[in-house]
């Protein structure tokens, strides 16, 4: 069979790809992401993807194990993935760390999803972090389904919330359901398309269809109110358009209460029916379609020391096309090395299991000893690389002060490992002076200090250095760059990949350098390959 024939929608591979939904939840802390995640997983149940996963000799990890690790670290810094099945779909929910300091991590995670769920607290509307995460989604026009949560509490007027989405995010908002009452009087929802009524205490079964049916279920006053709101809504709001949603211009909106497990099924149905299956991706050689038979994937996250007993590292890999089979050989295109994928893993709510096979859209963890890095592309042999898992210039630069000077070598290794994991950036000055670490937010320093102690037995502190700013430098002409680096030897450093970085003490000095060296490009974002 030719590749073209294999790529028709009838192939088993294409069928598998089509039923995948890989998404993340974006929200402001406290809006209900954790609660909603738990409810989503509940619908998925304790799943077994028939024939795909087997627990072979892998110690079953309980939820409390994970919690202990997170507790030790003092904060949840785990970007994990949870796989579950609902209807005929396989959902991969990529968790994003909640704290702002880990926005870089979050950004990378959002490069690995095909859609996102935006959770909004009905009383608070769009909050700062939601807006920030939304902007990240917008960079790739990721389709977004909106879940207005906490309708069982005093909330804003639904029109006001919809209006806020439209004005602050410049995103059309189309309700798929409409709330019947709110706060203590929140009784359920009316589905605009079908007229189906669901009541908060009514389980999953529809309580009736059409406004007439609602008559017998709520007070006359409430019926009049809902009737009026619906008339207004249908007159004033844009009808749902699939194409517009898929292009990232329109968000379907659902109302519910994660805590009371209401509206969660609507959300899953919306994801199954409307959200896109895995999309193709551009590489440096050619566009790659999700349904094509050849396996391609990229690493968007590396997590070290997940299991304190084994110093293992897990590279989280998003499959972009084809099928991964356990035991297959993969080409790491950055190094041209071949890697045997002997123990790829799926992650569930409380468990991880060997993945016998996985398809485009799936996220698998690949245990390794530091070989795999963020941004790496894996293929079944074809030499191509995906772009667009970026690094950002750190906002904070510090020197690491080591209490016990005898442990310098160990510190070097620990920093290298943490840099490969993406939790910190390490810059090594070319003049041989001690390395600097760079982070996006101050909390990352605390986490780093805690982990250096817990995982490596190193007592450290952090000191200000004369540098506060780092920019990657490059030039079209290699000679221009070489000349610049020669002249600025005292203030250049190399990053993890050996790429040159200029360090300065102020923004003023940076712009001076920029003015003087017009042929050199200074950037605060680096695309990792
Ligand atoms: P996260 O910070 O976004 O993960 O939010 P959580 O899921 O931890 O929820 C924050 C708080 O809001 C917790 O006390 C939840 O019990 C509560 N909460 C979440 N969803 C709802 C809801 O639908 N209704 C009400 N009343 N409380 C909720």
Closest residue CA from atom 21 of ligand 1: 259
The pLDDT value given to residue 528:
53
Which residues touch 484 (CB under 8 Å, ≥6 apart)?
473, 475, 517, 520
- Say if residue 97 carries a ligand binding annotation: yes
Token pair 């000055």 in the structure block, residue: 429
**Which ligand 1 atom is nearest residue 98's CA?**
2
Q: CA quadruple 473, 478, 483, 489: dihedral positive or negative?
A: positive
According to DSSP, the β-strands at 81-86 and 89-94 are: antiparallel
388: left (phi over 0), alpha (psi -120 to 50) or beta: left
Question: Is the distance from CB of 217 to CB of 225 less than 8 angstroms?
Answer: no
- Say if residue 30 carries a ligand binding annotation: yes
Residue-wise burial string across 153-173, b where 16 or more C-beta atoms lie within 10 A, e elsewhere? eebbebeebbbebbeebebbb
The pLDDT value given to residue 387:
79
The pLDDT value given to residue 428:
94
Pocket of ligand 1 (CB under 6 A): 27, 29-35, 98, 149-150, 152-153, 257-259
In degrees, rounded to 5, the angle at the alpha carbon of residue 183 between the alpha carbons of residues 177 and 184 is: 120
The pLDDT value given to residue 349:
57
Per-10-residue mean pLDDT, the chain, length 529: 53 94 93 88 53 31 38 42 88 76 74 96 94 87 97 95 96 95 91 91 80 85 92 87 97 95 94 96 94 95 68 87 96 95 80 87 90 92 85 87 89 88 88 89 82 89 92 94 95 92 94 94 76
Q: What is the DSSP letter of 238?
A: P
The pLDDT value given to residue 218:
86
The pLDDT value given to residue 102:
55
Q: How far is CA 372 from CA 206, 247, 333, 407, in A?
A: 49, 33, 11, 26
How many angstroms does the Cα of residue 508 sit away from the middle of ligand 1?
Answer: 45
How many angstroms does the Cα of residue 178 sit away from the middle of ligand 1?
Answer: 21
**Both ends of the chain: CA-CA distance in Å?**
33
Residue 293: closest CA among 11, 52, 53: 11
**Which ligand 1 atom is nearest residue 262's CA?**
23
The pLDDT value given to residue 468:
92
Q: Own/partner pairs for 191-197, CB < 8 Å, 24+ apart?
A: 191/266, 192/230, 192/233, 192/234, 193/240
Q: What are phi and psi of 93, to 5 degrees?
A: -100, 115
The pLDDT value given to residue 388:
64
Q: Quick one: the chain helix, strand, coil %, rounded to 5? A: 30, 30, 35
């Amino acid at each position: 069979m030719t590749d073209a024939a294999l790529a028709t929608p009838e192939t088993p591979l294409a069928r598998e790809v089509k039923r995948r939904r890989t998404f993340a939840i974006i929200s402001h802390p406290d809006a209900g992401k954790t609660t909603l995640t738990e409810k989503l997983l509940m619908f998925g149940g304790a799943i077994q993807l028939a024939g795909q996963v087997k627990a072979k000799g892998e110690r079953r990890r309980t939820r409390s194990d994970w919690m202990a690790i997170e507790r030790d670290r003092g904060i949840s810094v785990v970007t994990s993935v949870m796989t579950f099945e609902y209807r005929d779909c396989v959902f991969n929910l990529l968790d994003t760390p909640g704290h702002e300091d880990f926005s870089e991590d979050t950004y990378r995670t959002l490069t690995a999803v095909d859609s996102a769920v935006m959770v909004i607290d009905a009383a608070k509307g769009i909050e700062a972090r939601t807006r920030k995460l939304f902007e990240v989604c917008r960079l790739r026009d990721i389709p977004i389904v909106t879940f207005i949560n906490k309708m069982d509490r005093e909330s804003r007027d639904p029109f006001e919330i919809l209006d806020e989405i439209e004005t602050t995010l410049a995103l059309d908002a189309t309700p798929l359901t409409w709330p019947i009452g709110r706060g203590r009087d929140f009784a359920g929802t009316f589905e605009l398309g079908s007229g189906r009524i669901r009541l908060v205490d009514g389980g999953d079964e529809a309580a009736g269809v059409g406004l007439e049916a609602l008559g017998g279920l709520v007070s006359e006053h409430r019926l009049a109110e809902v009737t009026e709101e619906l008339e207004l809504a249908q007159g004033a709001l844009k009808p749902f358009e699939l194409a517009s949603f898929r292009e990232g211009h329109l968000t379907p909106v659902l109302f519910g209460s994660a805590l009371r497990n209401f509206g969660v099924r609507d959300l899953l149905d919306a994801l199954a029916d409307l959200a896109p299956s895995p999309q193709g991706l551009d590489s440096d050689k050619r566009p790659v379609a999700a349904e094509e038979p050849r396996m391609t994937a990229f690493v968007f996250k590396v997590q070290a020391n997940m299991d304190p007993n084994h110093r293992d590292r897990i590279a989280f890999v998003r499959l972009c096309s084809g099928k991964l089979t356990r035991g297959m050989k993969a080409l790491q295109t950055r190094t041209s090395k071949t890697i045997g994928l002997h123990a790829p893993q799926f992650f569930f709510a409380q468990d991880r299991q060997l993945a016998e096979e996985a398809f485009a859209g799936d996220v698998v963890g690949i245990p390794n000893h530091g070989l795999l890095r963020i941004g790496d592309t894996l293929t079944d042999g074809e030499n191509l690389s995906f772009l667009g898992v970026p690094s950002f210039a750190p906002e904070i630069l510090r020197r690491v002060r080591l209490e016990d000077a005898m442990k310098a070598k160990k510190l070097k290794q620990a920093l290298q490992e943490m840099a490969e994991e993406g939790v910190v950036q390490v810059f090594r000055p070319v003049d041989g002076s001690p390395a600097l670490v760079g982070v996006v937010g101050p909390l990352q320093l605390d986490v780093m200090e805690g982990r250096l102690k817990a995982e490596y037995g190193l007592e450290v502190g952090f000191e200000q250095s004369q540098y506060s700013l780092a920019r990657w430098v490059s030039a079209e002409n290699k000679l221009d760059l070489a000349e610049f680096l020669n002249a600025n030897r005292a203030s250049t450093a190399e990053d993890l990949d050996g790429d040159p970085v200029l360090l300065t003490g102020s923004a003023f000095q940076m712009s001076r350098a920029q003015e003087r060296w017009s042929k050199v490009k200074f950037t605060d974002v680096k695309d990792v390959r």
